[in-house]
Chains A and B, each alone.
Chain A
Amino acid sequence: MAGNNNSYWKANIALIVKCLSIWFVVSYLFGIVLVDVLNTVRMGGYKLGFWFAQQGSIYTFVILVFYYAKSMGKIDKEFGVDEK
């Protein structure tokens, strides 16, 4: 079954790369590197860059972790390696 495990692992890595790219964009890019550019845009009382740094990135992290858990559950079933 090593071949099956290999493609299972590849699917897992692909999902991790996707999630961590979003993780990187909202915190490091939006919250730090591009903060001055985003601050020219306003969202209510918030400057957008500031909002990402102090609120938005945290909300995104929460969604990402649950999305990962749910998607992995599906991948586990697909490859028949879910816990019974």
Chain B
Amino acid sequence: MDLQTLTFLFVGVTFALYIGIAFWARAGSTKEFYVAGGGIHPVANGMATAADWMSAASFISMAGLIAFYGYGGSVFLMGWTGGYVLLAMLLAPYLRKHGAFTVPEFISDRYYSKTARVVAVICLIIASVTYVIGQMKGIGVAFSRFLEVDYETGLVSGMVIVAFYATMGGMKGITYTQIAQYVIMIIAYTIPAIFISFMLTGNPIPQLGLGSEMADGTYLLDKLDQVVTQLGFAEYTTQARLSTTNMFVYTLSLMIGTAGLPHVIMRFFTVSSVKAARESAGWALVFIALLYTTAPAVAAMARLNLMQTIDQPNAEQNLAYADRPSWFKNWETTGLLKFEDKNNDGLISYTGDKKTNEMVKVDRDIMVLANPEIAGLPNWVIAIVAAGGLAAALSTAAGLLLAIASSISHDLLKGVWRPNITEKEELRYSRISMIGAILIAGYYGFNPPDFAAGTVALAFGLAASSIFPALMMGIFSKKMNKEGAIAGMLSGIGITLLYVFQHKGIMFVKSTSFLGDMDPNWFLGIEPNAFGAIGAVVNFAVAFFVMSRTAKVPAEVEQMVENIRVPASN
């Protein structure tokens, strides 16, 4: 069968599966809608969390980033996994014990304040909406590339499918579809990696292949270092990302951002007990680690394959443009790969020197998707990768939309504006807000704002600087009062937005950046994407300062904190 038919088949079958599951797991009560009834098994929940967490960015972009940043790309690997250690020890078990439906609900109970709840909802919506816009764009791009329809048709099909299974099943439906999506994603990610690792090193396990010898007896990583340095690029295994300080702060931002993202935290409300919440974080990390330890192998092998296909040590032996393989032509038509024959010799010269480099554009996002084609793998493998990429984008979009919808219906409507509505009405409003959230996300998918590219980093920065510190202080400090928490959240999110906007422009409109997007103006040389950790430090400092000058926490709140710290009251 040709690639197009196979892709249609694989994508069609997986979508039928998701919708079938949504039908089977319809939510009847608010408890089922928000927390899937609260009885999900820790392993199942871990798998759903992994799918929820690993977005199109993890599946499509991450290996591409590592392929070009080399060692510097480690910030994503450590940052996006290390956050689960924080989540497992500092947040998940205690939040599960408290038993709220949403993150702002916990903040409102703990800080005995509706204002705190509204501030938390605002932080949550800013972080989730910026994140979901990126996902919608990913869905549009992936659908249009694989189904060979235009971007708009791709986006609308994605929206309809998410709307269908997310509104019907709520958290319950989403949990079970995410489990299916995880399975598809991990198969799609590892199969090409196993093939390529075996072809290059004879070892089918990518994690081991990365450290193995190639047929000519040199280690793969040494070979890669040699190839890239010969062509004038930085050495793969040692090139740092800007500076040691920047890598340190960036990793920290991604870790606490991970632990502070509401759609991930919400997943720990769905298990049956405190013990299950602790274990579930471990299972989530196992399922994430399967992909995250494979990614560096995919990255290094894809880079090596790419360089070796195109460029040779002797420039006369370089690939002739006329002889370029079909994957090269396919990606050229998308505009993500561009060649410019600067010396008019008809050969492709790909070097680290801007003046002579003729591969004027090699988009990082094509690495994972093009990898099977570059390595010449069979069509069915390429079709599976397509289904996996879509599963990654859909599962994260659904989780984010639920987090947004529940904070509107449960926190704003039921919690603040109209406390008297019945459960049935609340459920109806949840579904309406979900549709609203999908339409807004879709609108931004059609009219991608300037900031679409920077949004994922911003979402992490915002979660790191506002939500994580407020939750952590709520559990680990009995004395933290509402004034401190509110001031902390506002100043943390405020300074992070200010730092990002002053370098990237207000809402990422370039002309409004008043300090310029360049490192001489960066605080301690820290790039804007990495600033969330500094925002978190400001949050903690302001919170404790304000706390010391304002009224004490009421005795019953101290009692409540005592209570959430132990699994069973004695």
Contact = CB atoms under 8 A, between A and B. Distances in A.
Interface of A: 1-2, 4-5, 8-9, 12, 16, 19-20, 23, 27-28, 31-33, 35-36, 39, 43-47, 50-51, 53-55, 57-59, 61-62, 64-66, 68-69, 72-73, 76, 79-84
Interface in B239-282: 244, 247-248, 251-252, 273-275, 278-279, 281-282
Nearest to A81: B566
Given A2-B562, A32-B247, A72-B278, A27 B78 contact: yes
28 contacts: A12-B565, A20-B85, A20-B86, A31-B78, A35-B71, A44-B211, A44-B212, A44-B219, A45-B211, A50-B238, A53-B77, A54-B66, A54-B71, A54-B296, A55-B207, A57-B78, A58-B78, A58-B289, A59-B289, A61-B81, A62-B286, A65-B85, A65-B89, A65-B285, A66-B279, A69-B88, A81-B567, A83-B567
A76 B276 CA distance: 13
Interface in B60-112: 66, 71, 74, 77-78, 81-82, 84-86, 88-90, 93
Given A50-B221, A69-B279, 11 more contacts: A19-B89, A32-B247, A44-B219, A51-B211, A53-B77, A57-B81, A57-B82, A58-B293, A69-B278, A69-B282, A76-B568
Interface in B528-570: 562, 565-570
Nearest to A50: B237
A1 B559 CA distance: 12
Contacts, number: 146
Given A47-B221, A61-B82, A72-B278, A83 B568 contact: yes
Contact of B292 (A27, A58, A79): A58
A23 B296 contact: no
Given A50-B71, A61-B84, A84 B222 contact: no
A33 to B, nearest CB: 6
Contacts of A64: 85
- Could you say which of A2, A69, A73, A80 has the most chain B C-beta atoms within 10 Å of its C-beta? A69
A68 to B, nearest CB: 6
Contacts of A51: 211
A58 B210 contact: no
A39 B567 CA distance: 44
A82 B568 contact: yes
A12 B476 CA distance: 11
Contact of A23 (B85, B211, B237, B566): B85
Which of B220, B296, B567, B569 gathers the greatest number of chain A CB atoms within 10 Å? B567
A45 B301 CA distance: 14
The listed residue with most A CB atoms (<10 A of its CB), out of B74, B210, B296, is: B74
B544 to A, nearest CB: 18
B517 interface: no
Contact of A8 (B71, B207, B566): B566
Contacts of B373: none
Given A53-B71, A76-B275, A16 B90 contact: yes
Chain B CB within 10 Å, residue with most, of A23, A33, A80, A83: A83
Given A66-B282, A76-B567, A31 B89 contact: no
Contact of B78 (A12, A20, A36, A53): A53
A84 to B, nearest CB: 7
A32 B251 contact: yes
A4 B212 CA distance: 53
B152 interface: no
B80 to A, nearest CB: 10
A10 B78 CA distance: 29
Interface string B379-393: 000000000000000
Nearest to A72: B278
B365 interface: no
B237 A39 contact: yes
Contact of B88 (A27, A45, A47, A68): A68
A7 B225 CA distance: 53
B363 interface: no
A46 B78 contact: no
Contacts of B562: 2, 5
A63 B456 CA distance: 28
A82 to B, nearest CB: 6
A26 B248 CA distance: 13
A69 B222 CA distance: 39
A76 to B, nearest CB: 6
Contacts of B84: 61, 65
A53 B74 contact: yes
